[in-house]
Chain A
Amino acid sequence: SQTIHQWPATLVQPVGSPLSLECTVEGTSNPNLYWYRQAAGRGLQLLFYSVGIGQISSEVPQNLSASRPQDRQFILSSKKLLLSDSGFYLCAWERQGLNIQYFGAGTRLSVL
């Protein structure tokens, strides 16, 4: 069966510090991968998606970047965090062609 892992679960970082959130998927190959952000009391906003290694598409201009160094690894990064980067970050995967996204448990990021 397929599983998706995100870590860390919780992160508190000072403004201006770097960020690296990791997401890995097991039990499948060549998945579509997604990063979403969920701000407090709001819906989900798609940040990045990837249909293959090294292929990243960004949905909104922002302080964050994403990379996919391996088929089942998706990393969300920032060089300098802003207060507005606080939120709940969710990674998701989709088996190409099946049109269902499966989500990780999320990372709650607090930028202070």
Chain B
Amino acid sequence: AQSVTQLGSHVSVSEGALVLLRCNYSSSVPPYLFWYVQYPNQGLQLLLKYTTGATLVKGINGFEAEFKKSETSFHLTKPSAHMSDAAEYFCAVPSGSARQLTFGSGTQLTVLP
């Protein structure tokens, strides 16, 4: 079954600095990959979705993710961090028979003033 690994449970960046959150998928190229964001005590909000054939996927709030088959990666980036970006970010991949999503363990992003 497909799985994703998020390297780095905590990432800290300064305001205005580049944000890079890492996600690697496990095996064969998945048909879809997702990044979700979760603000404290809230549900998950979809940031962006990869579909087969895309390489650079643009999402909301200035985030984008690049799909690299050679590296089995789908890292999330944002050129300039904002204080409001502080949240937990989850990478997810479909698995199982009923459109189930398998989530990574999450990366907590802290933005320093």
Contact = CB atoms under 8 A, between A and B. Distances in A.
A94 B105 contact: no
Interface residues of B, number: 22
Nearest to A32: B99
Instruction: Please classify the interface of chain A as helix (H, G, I), strand (E, B), loop, or mixed, using the class held by over half of its residues.
Output: strand
Contacts of A101: 46, 99, 101
A49 interface: yes
Given A94-B99, A105-B43, A44 B90 contact: yes
A102 B46 contact: yes
Interface string B68-110: 0000000000000000000000100010001111111110000
Interface residues of A, number: 23
Contact of A99 (B43, B99, B103, B106): B99
A92 B45 CA distance: 11
A108 interface: yes
Contact of B106 (A43, A51, A100): A43
Interface string A92-108: 10100001111111101
Interface of A: 6, 32, 34, 42-44, 46, 49, 51, 57, 59, 90, 92, 94, 99-106, 108
10 contacts: A34-B100, A34-B101, A43-B103, A44-B101, A90-B43, A99-B94, A100-B46, A100-B49, A103-B36, A103-B43
